[in-house]
Amino acid sequence: MPVEKFRTHEEARRALWLSPGDPRIMGSLRGVLSMAIGLYPVHRPRGVFKFRSIEEANADRKRWKKRAPEGRS
């Protein structure tokens, strides 16, 4: 990563922003999203499940939500 020098805090603050249409925006967004997923993963069962009624589906959802870590679903 290159080292940059700034004369004022204002110059440093302006250097953090990317102008609209800058191709580096997608890379920055990808990095932020991958960090967010790593910090707060969603634990859901994989696959497609069929249920006979909405009550069975809701009961199954409650069961897997109880198994998920606190505050995560």
Q: What is the pTM assigned to this prediction? A: 0.44
Q: How many domains does the chain have?
A: 1
**Residue 72 located in a structural domain:** yes
Q: What digits encode the pLDDT tens for the residues 28-61?
A: 999 999 998 888 776 777 889 999 999 999 999 8
Higher-pLDDT residue of 64 and 21 is: 21
Work out the pLDDT band at 4, boundaries 50, 70, 90: confident
Q: 36 in a domain, yes or no?
A: no
Task: Round to whole Å and give the CA distance between 50 and 63.
Answer: 15
pLDDT at 64: 83
Q: Taking the mean position of all CA atoms in its chain, how far away is CA 69?
A: 17
- Average per-residue pLDDT for the chain: 85
Q: In which domain, by residue range, is 61 found?
A: 43-73
Q: Is residue 10, in this structure, part of any structural domain at all?
A: no
13 in a structural domain: no
> Which amino acid appears at position 28 of this protein?
S
Residue 6 lies in a domain: no
Question: Does 67 map to a domain?
Answer: yes
d(CA 23, CA 73): 34
